[in-house]
Structure 1
């Protein structure tokens, strides 16, 4: 109905501090919070009671919790580092709301996907050059049965990939103005891009189509581009409003 139902937190509340992303597990909402950017020790995941739309508790985590994904009653939180750099994925048991482990991955993990086997892929961009400590991007394959890294693939130091997506048995990611594809059984990174000459600010893949948004110059209207991944042809290009930053799908609507 597009009618406002509730607002959780607000200017006068202290439930959230720099909230980032949300996922749902065991009937609860989990929201990553950076905390105060100058304090590396106040970051947390807020647990929301979805019946009352209130924050019922918080779970302390290391600096910079960002993207969050759920498998059954297990919550995986990418520790990107906030305004700094981090290199972990914290695992939370949603039945007890406790941290069970933190898995070391590449520097600045930016996106995660679960494959058909229920195992987790984590893409890390590495530290950018402006940090003075540039590091290579990395993709890690995590066995979610025991939460151990079983495969690691490294990019060149100057490559900083992002926007990991999955469609069926194929992983997609964006790097250096291009989109690459990789099978979930692969043990080496692709060397040839699927689509080049792009300027995506974010992207999503669903039902064999790639949707990417271009923020242009960040002061004028951006665009949405749609590609058919069966032959990598451009299907549509639409003007959208300023700084398009994400793509979401209504799963019940026809595409």
Structure 2
């Protein structure tokens, strides 16, 4: 257990690194009830999404901490993503067209941003601005413009209000930032990597990367993505594209997560590991967990501190679960969370 506790502490440090800078002084002062642990976002389906808190040692589990800390208030439908700005957390509720702003350590509400969002998806912070992708209308409901009306809402993090929109002219979902530039992908109706220059808040260019881009991560100036073509990377200094075909045994690969020189991903209920340097993949899975979910197998995934966290959506009507494995494939713990767990923070 001692080794696992060390890994759990590393987990929290890694999940929280986005809120720390080299100029900050670390003091042994409690910032709130949810400081020493990690969060699981539960989508919630037609009911409101919730957030589950789990302590670093996996011993303390608190469900719906947002409701508990805010007199039974709700986040909104289809909770999609959490992103951070220092000690502030932004929770995207796509089905309610709003972003809920809370203190990340106490989970007390700061405000709700309820204007200028239409089907918001993912967000990222650059400087004093937050950028949230919006799917807007969908092509099945609006064939004429459903694939061209997506945009990025720009939030002023001082006033917590949307101050402008960046029209993309293409579908948008995942978003990352690097060197004052946004990188945007969408898995269902786009084969492009959209690049937005924040100097003038406009689309600079788009690169053909292939269909089905479902996850992405930046490491050492290189953007790595998983899609139908395999492992795709873009050198962000010159936009040079490299594609490594993973092979038919890895069709449907998703949930890319990079740890050191290793990259991890899932295919169905199996978790795999590869080497990001030589772009090789171990053909033997790390583990294969059991799921009865029609649409929610490996619905969320995170690898931190020597442990693999995998979320299972279940039937999206009752409580889902997360499973904690070691990177050698041993099951450490199974934990009930909320409806449709989809991410770890």
TM superposition score normalised by structure 1: 0.83
Secondary structure at the residue paired with 1:31?
Answer: strand
Q: Find out whether 1:61 has 2:168 as its counterpart.
A: yes
Shift, 1:112, TM fit:
0.4
Residue 207 of structure 1 corresponds to which residue in structure 2? Answer: 305
Larger RCO: 1 or 2 (CA < 8 Å, sep 6+): 2
Greater share of helix:
2
Q: Tell me which of 105, 116, 123 is aligned to 2:226.
A: 123
Residue 186 of structure 2 corresponds to which residue in structure 1? Answer: 79
Alpha-carbon distance between aligned partners in 2 of 1:189 and 1:42, rounded to the nearest angstrom? 38
Shift, 1:191, TM fit:
2.2
Shift, 1:157, TM fit:
9.0
Q: Tell me which of 139, 160, 166 is aligned to 2:231.
A: 139
Q: Find out whether 1:235 has 2:315 as its counterpart.
A: no
Residue 158 of structure 2 corresponds to which residue in structure 1? Answer: 51
Q: Find out whether 1:222 has 2:320 as its counterpart.
A: yes
Residues 78-97 of structure 1 aligned to structure 2 (within 5 Å): 78-81=185-188, 85-97=189-201
Shift, 1:206, TM fit:
1.1
Q: 1:151 to 1:143 in 2, by over 3 A?
A: same
TM superposition score normalised by structure 2: 0.62
Tell whether the 8 Å contact from 2:148 to 2:171 is kept in structure 1 after alignment.
no
Q: Find out whether 1:7 has 2:112 as its counterpart.
A: yes
Alpha-carbon distance between aligned partners in 2 of 1:21 and 1:48, rounded to the nearest angstrom? 13
Secondary structure at the residue paired with 1:216?
Answer: coil
Q: Tell me which of 121, 130, 134 is aligned to 1:20.
A: 121
Shift, 1:76, TM fit:
0.8
Shift, 1:189, TM fit:
4.1
Alpha-carbon distance between aligned partners in 2 of 1:107 and 1:89, rounded to the nearest angstrom? 10
Shift, 1:197, TM fit:
3.1
Q: 1:157 to 1:56 in 2, by over 3 A?
A: farther
Aligned-residue CA RMSD (Å) = 1.9
Residue 171 of structure 1 corresponds to which residue in structure 2? Answer: 263
Q: 1:121 to 1:158 in 2, by over 3 A?
A: closer
Residues 10-62 of structure 1 show CA distances to partners (whole Å, capped at 9, x for unaligned) of 2xx3x111110000113210100111112222111111111111111111114
Tell whether the 8 Å contact from 2:275 to 2:281 is kept in structure 1 after alignment.
no
Shift, 1:123, TM fit:
0.9
Structure 1: where are the runs of 5+ without partners? Answer: 127-136, 249-255
Tell whether the 8 Å contact from 1:151 to 1:187 is kept in structure 2 after alignment.
no
Structure 2: where are the runs of 5+ without partners? Answer: 1-105, 291-296
Structure 1 runs of 4+ with >4 Å offset = none
Alpha-carbon distance between aligned partners in 1 of 2:276 and 2:344, rounded to the nearest angstrom? 23
Q: 1:61 to 1:152 in 2, by over 3 A?
A: farther
Residue 40 of structure 2 corresponds to which residue in structure 1? Answer: none
Shift, 1:154, TM fit:
4.6
Alpha-carbon distance between aligned partners in 1 of 2:249 and 2:273, rounded to the nearest angstrom? 20
Shift, 1:220, TM fit:
2.3
Q: 1:169 to 1:148 in 2, by over 3 A?
A: same
Q: 1:166 to 1:188 in 2, by over 3 A?
A: closer
